[in-house]
Amino acid sequence: MGLALSRFRAALSFLGKQFSEGRATRDLLSLLGGVMGARVIQVLAIPLITRLFDPADYGRVSLLVALATTFNQASSLGYEGAIALPRQGHGARQVSRLSLLLLLGFCITLALIAAQWPEAWRPAGLNSVPGWWLILAAIVGLLGLSNVLQAWAVRRKAFQRIAASSLAQAGVTSSGRVAWGLGLSPTFLGLLMPYVVGLVVRAWSLIGAPSSSNSPAPGDPVANPPPPDQADPWTIGEAARRYAAFALFGLPSTLIRSLTQRLPLLLIGTLFAPAIVGFYAAAHRLVLTPARAIGQAGRQVALPRAAGRRRRAEPMFWPLARATTILGLAAVVPCALLYVIGEPLLVFVLGDGWTSAGPYAPPLAPWAFTMFLTGPTSAVFQALEKQRWMLGLSCVRLALFVVAVLWARASDDGDPLLLVVSLAIAGVLANMLQLALGLWLAWRHDQNLPCA
């Protein structure tokens, strides 16, 4: 009787563990559903937008957004990446306040510097937009605010709220652009203003994110914050010192990674006419943007799980491998189709006036596939606080991209396609290196556990 009872308890423990592990998969699928839904909305709106707006205006807005998203990576000095790590809620709130204060100071500084030297801040295609540096600072501020709010939602595992905010932003931006193009004159402003309103809606949707129904298990410090008199006695300054590695090593790493991701668009915007920027930007939005967003969703789901496993001294490798496999299986067929029939597909979707965008699809497809895979491994670097490793990896990534640019500039005769091909090859190599290194770090973590 005692043996049977013991086996029954062991079976219940095993089923409970499997259910807990499956919860991470459900969170991932929930977040992927919201992200994929947002990208479907954007893709469905693109044929209307490209038939209403001029490629040059589309290129100017895309270049402005690329600059804003690049600056956004430095807006809080990387501290928003540490919001999920403190054991208690008080420490996470101090990191959030620190991130918001840094964001405010960064945006004010960016606006003042840009206003003093406007000629030095005018890449090709933005010269005709008055006061674009102020617009840039405002967009950076909204993006940074969403980053902080989303990091807090990730900590609370409110993945449904994150998915809903992505859907709301995509819906407002896409419908606003189509309505503006149909009802008013289809100009640069008609592409920009709905994007800004979409950012506001996203930030508003993330405010006060509750915990998901799939809350952490009892005993998890994130799920059960202590009474106020037992909370961590951190100040903002102590939080800044505790997670200084995120600013010293994580920020350069993130900034380099963001710069390399947007380097094709920034280089094309500097070297070629705004219409060519628009052609590439449309292909980028249809191919790379969904992949990057889904990879980020994988990172958001994996980060609190990996941080919790580190705190509880639990294995990390196999859950990471499982999440990576799920993303790879979801991506392999769409990316293969883009590689084979991407060129005619893009021309069909965008319209006759955008035929120059089609050739960019095949070289971007393998890059997109590797982007799907790297989301969960990015969380490993954060959860294990391996910012030095991530910085070294980012430096290797930057070196690969520099070599690709130099090779393309030495080989071509002014063709932007060769530049994109060379950068895509560098991106694939860098992503595969990150994937291998992240899996190795997780395996090494498991080998150092007491029960290993």
pLDDT tens, residue by residue, 180-203? 988 887 888 899 999 999 999 999
Distance separating alpha carbons of residues 269 and 32, to the nearest angstrom: 31
Instruction: Count other C-beta atoms under 10 Å from residue 378's C-beta.
Output: 24
Distance separating alpha carbons of residues 303 and 292, to the nearest angstrom: 16
Residue pair 440/377 in contact (Cβ under 8 Å)? The answer is: no
Pick from 201, 58, 60: which is nearest to 136 by CA? 60
Distance separating alpha carbons of residues 379 and 367, to the nearest angstrom: 20
Statement: residue 122 has pLDDT above 50: yes
Element (H, E) at 88: none
Distance separating alpha carbons of residues 195 and 179, to the nearest angstrom: 13
> Which of these ranges, 110-119, 226-235, 345-354, has the smallest mean pLDDT?
226-235
Statement: residue 15 has pLDDT above 60: no
296-349 residue pLDDT tens = 666 767 777 777 788 787 888 888 888 888 888 888 888 888 888 888 888 888
Residue pair 381/304 in contact (Cβ under 8 Å)? The answer is: no
- The region, left, alpha or beta by phi > 0 then psi within -120 to 50, assigned to residue 208 is left
Residue-wise burial string across 412-450, b where 16 or more C-beta atoms lie within 10 A, e elsewhere: eeeebebbbbbbbbbbbbbbebbbebbbebbbebbeeee
Mean pLDDT, the chain, rounded, equals 77
- The region, left, alpha or beta by phi > 0 then psi within -120 to 50, assigned to residue 234 is beta
Q: Which two tokens mark 189?
A: 């402003």
The pLDDT of 270-296, averaged and rounded, is 78
Q: What angle do CA 417, 123, 195 make, to 5 degrees?
A: 85
The pLDDT of 110-127, averaged and rounded, is 65
**Residue 433's pLDDT band (cuts 50, 70, 90):** very high
pLDDT score at 429 = 93
Distance separating alpha carbons of residues 303 and 246, to the nearest angstrom: 15
Statement: residue 256 has pLDDT above 70: yes
Pick from 369, 249, 344, 282: which is nearest to 58 by CA? 282
Residue pair 264/423 in contact (Cβ under 8 Å)? The answer is: yes
**Residue 141's pLDDT band (cuts 50, 70, 90):** very high
> Which of these ranges, 185-199, 207-221, 244-258, has the smallest mean pLDDT?
207-221
Q: How many CA atoms lie within 13 A of 192 on its CB side?
A: 19
Distance separating alpha carbons of residues 338 and 335, to the nearest angstrom: 5
Pick from 450, 432, 412, 16: which is nearest to 217 by CA? 16
pLDDT score at 221 = 40
Instruction: Count other C-beta atoms under 10 Å from residue 124's C-beta.
Output: 17
For the chain, percent helix, then strand, then coil, each to nearest 5? 85, 0, 15
* Residues whose CB is less than 8 angstroms from the CB of residue 192 and which lie 6 or more positions away in sequence, other chains included: 61, 64, 135
Statement: residue 225 has pLDDT above 80: no
Distance separating alpha carbons of residues 6 and 2, to the nearest angstrom: 6
Pick from 282, 58, 284: which is nearest to 192 by CA? 58
The larger pLDDT score, comparing residue 150 to residue 302, is at 150
**Residue 442's pLDDT band (cuts 50, 70, 90):** confident
pLDDT score at 309 = 80
pLDDT score at 200 = 94
Statement: residue 376 has pLDDT above 70: yes
Q: What is the CA radius of gyration of the chain?
A: 23
Residue pair 377/436 in contact (Cβ under 8 Å)? The answer is: no
> Which of these ranges, 68-82, 132-146, 294-308, 344-358, has the smallest mean pLDDT?
294-308
pLDDT score at 185 = 77
- What percentage of the chain exceeds 90 in pLDDT? 11
**Residue 104's pLDDT band (cuts 50, 70, 90):** very high
Q: What are phi and psi of 214, to 5 degrees?
A: -85, 65
pLDDT score at 224 = 43
For residue 248, the 8-state DSSP code is: I
Distance separating alpha carbons of residues 164 and 438, to the nearest angstrom: 29
pLDDT score at 199 = 93
Please, what is the end-to-end C-alpha distance for the chain in angstroms? 32
